[in-house]
Structure 1
């Protein structure tokens, strides 16, 4: 069960804000993980083969992550995290990749992963509950994606958005920055919208949905974004395990599967750090959200009626769901509403929407495959679907 013994009202902006008690707690968890590995290995070797078909070491990876994260509080996770920009340059150095950075309005940044050629681009927004910076798993998967596409004869630029983290920055700051990132791709860099793949995972997967919502239904606090008449649709929308609901009442959220990396207490804490709940007073220790915003169709896309998505300015959409993830049920429900709405405004069979439940995979499974050093890559369904979408979209243009 998650460790909730440390009372927390807000997340630390820097590591120095974490108490000595919390630091000691994080060290104890690390020692417990090391001690538990032999037991986890034995349990996995004696259990049935993973539904995903991957070797046992991939299951061990998931169990170790689950074991560790179930015993920490989001504040303690911050102990292991540094600023997004620092992480990107650190990971780039390890992979011998050149990174350049562009400053955007409202505090956002675009980090260009490798060479920029200006023809096709993946604009990527990382997850982490809006509270955690980018991780090695995000940059590792984007690096791998770029290599796979290049091997298949497709050159693509990779732009990674750095947005402000909670609770210092609260909703709709992250949405505003995501919209500015997309605006910059089109107006600042001159990419044809048809050559843009707009993608993200978890909270980032929600932000790409929210930013596209803003194109159709401008948020009152954010400057409208109008796509050019010559190219009125983005090439593709990629949403990996999107965090579309703050509810912890779904059966998949309540189930204890000992595999996933998202827990009900994470959802409760991170959602409160992002935006005020509609049914309780604003927390005195949290900075205010802009103009007292609360839950809505942007920060919780599942709240939108199907008709909200009619007229979606995107040619192809891929929503990926891990069968073993706690967010599974909420994403499936959202995917049904989303597809229904998009199909209302599209010719029969031409909505371009694909919703895939990936058998045996956890939350954002494709990202964590990069955590298996020295092992030949084993493609899960998530990774295959991502690369297939990118290849099909970019080959057409």
Structure 2
């Protein structure tokens, strides 16, 4: 099945290719220098290596080079390669009946592609009683899923919550497909699972990282305050849980934006990079489905989503953030002001299960860790990071 974003991969010209290889020695020098001087006692050396790798990559290569590096493998190809290598049962479904409203009709939104994976433990068990983990990947809305980082993490999440299946949305990428394309495709995904797969909301754990965490929030907002771009969707009951990993909950505004400044240089993301993602995505700052915590509608919408009673949409929610992230301040504000979350803080070696048990909505602050640190950890084969341990401990409890 053809992926709906493979055609957007930019090939390098001969001159770009020569420039890229010419910059490799400089990249290596910058990587080694940054790794040597990087001082963060909260991080393991492998975590520091992953972080400085991304920082050196950003400062060495042009935007065109970085785009080529990231987009060489599409989301669908990355999922297929991982499943083939690890002998994971995998099928794809094109959601042909997904239709945007007239407000988004001129955007030519392609039908979403869903990847259904059966975790190895579920294949061996065979009873199919576990939840369905629905995952929206990050990447600033412009980059595909990273197989070496996302896939091990997603499958560990599935094992921790004893999922019977994993559903990963392969959404179309910006700037070729700007906002609200991804929102429309996410709503169509949930509709398909509820109406065509005959699942209950209580069967679903909605999860995502960075831009994918934003999409989890956008779908929840749409359910209580429908966007004009996607048909309304009513659910009967509560979702089992929502997991937002380092979510992009607020569009950056103003020249002085808290931890965008204080954590500049500690994270691998920076303000210009986030602004570039936003310019490509074209999310509207006055719409809650794009700007989760930055609109007047937020005060009305989120109390309905996170209501403590049976009318709330989500039974349990976890938001994670590293204390070295530029998104730290935004995530704190959203968790406190809108999700009604209790903050717990921990580091490597923390007994996260003891901290999280019995809590319905939690913000887990992970000492010294960067944006979506758990994905970086997965890429270097490190499984003792604070963010990863917090997530796996929480999923085991939902």
Alignment TM-score > 0.5, same fold: yes
Return the offset for 1:224: 0.7
The 3 A distance-change label for structure 1 pair 119 and 185 is farther
Supply the distance in 2 between the matched residues of 1:164 and 1:352 (Cα, whole angstroms): 33
Question: Map of 1:1-397 to 2, 5 A cutoff?
Answer: 13-16=8-11, 18=12, 20=14, 22-44=16-38, 47=39, 50-51=41-42, 54-80=43-69, 81=71, 82-104=73-95, 105=98, 106-115=110-119, 117=128, 119-136=130-147, 137-149=149-161, 154-228=162-236, 232-247=237-252, 249-255=256-262, 257-275=264-282, 295-304=286-295, 305-312=298-305, 313-340=313-340, 352-373=360-381, 377-393=382-398
Partner of 2:293, secondary structure, is helix
Aligned to 2:4: none
What's the offset of the Cα at 1:43?
2.5
Residue 123 of structure 1, CA deviation? 0.1
TM-score, reference length from structure 2? 0.79
Q: Secondary structure at the match of 1:254?
A: helix
CA contact (8 A) 2:341 2:361 kept: no
**Cα–Cα, structure 1 residues 142 and 356, in superposed 2: closer, same or farther, change >3 Å?**
same
Residue 37 of structure 1 contacts residue 64 of structure 1 at CA under 8 Å; is this kept in 2?
yes
- In 1, are the aligned partners of 2:135 and 2:166 still within 8 Å (CA)? yes
Contact 1:74 1:266 in 2 (8 A): no
Cα distance, 1:381–1:341 mapped onto 2, change above 3 Å: closer
Unaligned 5+ residue runs, structure 1?
1-11, 277-292, 343-349
Structure 1 residue matching 2:339: 3-state secondary structure? helix
Give distance in 2, aligned partners of 1:296 and 1:26: 39
In the alignment, the residues of structure 1 paired with residue 92 and residue 26 of structure 2 have an alpha-carbon distance, to the nearest angstrom, of: 39
TM-score (norm 1): 0.79
SS in 2 for 1:143: helix
Distance 1:22 1:255 in 2: 35
CA shift for structure 1 position 246: 2.4
Mean Cα deviation higher: 91-100 or 170-179: 91-100
Q: Paired residues, what number?
A: 343
1:48-90 CA distance string (max 9 Å, x none): x522xx4222212211212212334544322122221112112
RMSD: 2.5
